[in-house]
Amino acid sequence: MSLTEYGLQQLTNALSIGSLYALMAIGLAMVFGILRLINFAHGDLMMVGSYSALGLIFIGLPYWAAIPAAVVVAALAGILMERVAYRPIRGAPDVAMLLTSFAVTIILENGAVMLVGARSRAFPIPDFLRTVYHLGNLTVASVNVVAIIATAVLLVLLTLFVTRTDIGISMRAAADDMMAAQLMGIPINRVIAAAFAIGSGLAGVAGLLWTVKVGKVDPYMGFFPVLKAFVAAVIGGFGTIPGAVVGGFVLGFLEITFQALLPGEWSAYRDALVFAILIIVLLVRPNGIVGARAREEI
Amino acid sequence: MLEVRDIDVYYGGIRALDGVSLDVAEGELVTLIGSNGAGKTTTLRTISGLLHPKRGSIVYDGAPIHTLSPYQIVQRGISHCPEGRHIFANLTVDDNLRLGAVQRRDRAAVRRDREWVYSLFPVLEQRLGQLGGTLSGGEQQMLAIGRALMSSSRLLLLDEPSLGLAPILVETIFAVLREIKASGRTILLVEQNAYLALEIADRGYVLETGRLILHDTAEALRANAEVERSYLGG
């Protein structure tokens, strides 16, 4: 395998894992941008989406229908989460909101354990997602290709949404200045619900891609992805969508780079090294890679 | 048009307004003057629904509005240009103006109002693609007023439009306020510069530590010895 081929191979791996982090980080960033809430329960929406897909396939829905339906379920779960858990404490101190999100996580994960058990379950994977393409010496799993393409399409749609539509622009306005957004006559509750729906739908997509990759679902599957996505969002520039996307891909690239370059016996330290780099990034750019300007509060 | 009746407003446990009542009639320019912390901004925020009175009522066009949310109050035709401008710094000038009209569906009328805002503040038309945060202080104030005019409101609440601006810009802003009044809109103006405010207002109210202590025609207030001593620097 030539060096170019090796590089390309790692590039597709990095893009694929970076896509998942980016999709997850967007939802965290949207919600934080508007509400100053770090929603740790965001990871559990991956799990909600994947179990929904599993259930729908189990009752006989075809794959092409079960997947979009599961994404919709994740989006609805996000709306419900905001309505039940976060709206009543809106405006409370940040710590209270953070603790509430821990509570939501525990309730969702334990709820899943009670409903379906703690054991992981195999996820049926259709043949076209099992395929591995060989291009010369390159091997590319079709699920990685699907992940990259799906993320690219979703990012384009999301960009159009937040720059062209009233509700999308309102969302950015609410993140910029909540009081002014209210004074413009923007229905804040609707904007917040929309942010949760979109972020949660994207988490649902990320969850399904993850599930297809590893071939199983379990109630705690969202735990590590949400931590990674949180880190991605922070290094990108927390609270902005471009920051989340950039951070997601940067994290993906760092992980794959260390995986490729580190000798085998060091692999246990991979995450530690990645995080060390991220700390350096934050020391140099405290507002993240994209966040050039400090947020001014009056 | 607007009747504020005996409202008490609290921030947490602290009373910011104590039995404030005021009226604004259609087509009037009414000013609210008073020193820092007198409750001027609180009064405007209560009218626009950001705060709710613990006691008393606010009636607009014959219907009570003091329990409504800000967006419902915008729907009824009141817009509020807040102190400190509060433009959307990370949005373009164009999007800032667009959001001013976010509730309106009549595109032709929105376009007419945009042309009107451009005629009041020609500089905004040249800055459409720029981010709000990159504008100068004066331009941001123009954008804040322009944005508030984009909602087809009949009553405009203006909070400290001259604050922190160079004298020449203050003149520009006040000239525009006269034009807005001439267009038939009703204005409730909060202003630290009482001298200027009483120049263009029809009537004025004087607030002191959460209570109204005086109200009269602008002319009479200008001639009032106490107002002159406390607020006109006489």
State the Cα–Cα distance between residues B210 and B53, nearest whole angstrom: 13
pLDDT, tens digit (0-9, with 9 covering 90-100), for A161-219 = 999 999 999 999 999 999 999 999 999 999 999 999 999 999 999 999 999 999 999 99
Please check whether residue B80 touches A, CB under 8 A. Answer: yes
Which of B81, B90, B151 is nearest residue A176 as measured by Cβ atoms? B90
Q: Which residue of A has its CA nearest to B45?
A: A183
pLDDT at position A3, please? 81
CA A113 to chain centroid, in Å, comes to 22
pLDDT at position B180, please? 95
pLDDT at A75 exceeding the cut of 50: yes
Residues whose CB is less than 8 angstroms from the CB of residue A121 and which lie 6 or more positions away in sequence, other chains included? A54, A216, A217, A218
Binary contact (A183, B133; C-beta < 8 A)? no
Top residue of B69, B86, B103 to mutate, by most chain A CBs within 10 Å, is B86
pLDDT at A294 exceeding the cut of 60: no
Q: Which residue has the higher pLDDT, A293 or B145?
A: B145
Please report, for residues A94, A195, B69, B166, the alpha-carbon distance to residue A36 in angstroms, rounded to integers and kept in the order given: 7, 13, 21, 35
Q: Which backbone phi and psi does A121 adopt, to 5 degrees?
A: -120, 145
pTM for the structure as a whole = 0.91
- Is the distance from CB of A46 to CB of A270 less than 8 angstroms? no
Q: Edge-to-edge strands of the sheet including B55-60?
A: B14-24, B2-11, B55-60, B63-64
pLDDT at position A8, please? 85
Q: Which residue has the higher pLDDT, B93 or A129?
A: B93
Which residues are B10's β-sheet partners?
B15
Mean pLDDT, residues A136-140 taken together: 82
- Is the distance from CB of A227 to CB of A25 less than 8 angstroms? no
pLDDT at position A127, please? 83
pLDDT at B72 exceeding the cut of 90: yes
Mean pLDDT, residues A49-57 taken together: 96
**Which of A224, A181, A122, A264 is closest to B90 using CA atoms?**
A181
Q: Which residue of A has its CA nearest to B48?
A: A183
In chain B, what residues touch A170 (CB-CB under 8 Å)?
99, 102
Mean pLDDT, residues B152-177 taken together: 93
pLDDT at position B233, please? 67
pLDDT at B192 exceeding the cut of 90: no
pLDDT at position B53, please? 96
State the Cα–Cα distance between residues B234 and B232, nearest whole angstrom: 5
Chains A and B: how many Cβ contacts under 8 Å? 71
Q: Which residue of B has its CA nearest to A163?
A: B95
Binary contact (A179, B103; C-beta < 8 A)? no
Q: Which residue has the higher pLDDT, B13 or B4?
A: B4
Binary contact (A183, B90; C-beta < 8 A)? no
In chain B, what residues touch A167 (CB-CB under 8 Å)?
none
Confidence of residue A152 (pLDDT cuts 50, 70, 90): very high
pLDDT, tens digit (0-9, with 9 covering 90-100), for B35-46 = 888 999 999 999
Top residue of A87, A183, A238, A295 to mutate, by most chain B CBs within 10 Å, is A183
> Mean pLDDT, chain A, as a whole number?
91
Which of B50, B74, B88 is nearest residue A176 as measured by Cβ atoms? B88
pLDDT at A296 exceeding the cut of 70: no
pLDDT, tens digit (0-9, with 9 covering 90-100), for A30-41 = 999 999 999 999
Q: Which residue has the higher pLDDT, A224 or A267?
A: A224
Binary contact (A185, B133; C-beta < 8 A)? no
Please check whether residue B90 touches A, CB under 8 A. Answer: yes
pLDDT at A298 exceeding the cut of 50: no
- Is the distance from CB of B143 to CB of B93 less than 8 angstroms? yes
Q: What is the share, in percent, of chain B residues with pLDDT greater than 70?
A: 99
Residue A47 CB burial class (10 angstroms; 0-12, 13-18, ≥19)? buried
In chain B, what residues touch A182 (CB-CB under 8 Å)?
49-50, 69-71
- Is the distance from CB of A167 to CB of B82 less than 8 angstroms? no
Which of B82, B99, B147 is nearest residue A186 as measured by Cβ atoms? B99
Joined together, the tokens standing for residue B4 give: 């504020």
Joined together, the tokens standing for residue B228 give: 């002159």
Q: What is the ipTM of this complex?
A: 0.93
Mean pLDDT, residues A105-127 taken together: 93
State the Cα–Cα distance between residues B91 and B101, nearest whole angstrom: 15
Which of A169, A183, A187 is nearest residue B91 as measured by Cβ atoms? A169
**Which of A171, A165, A199 is closest to A184 using CA atoms?**
A171
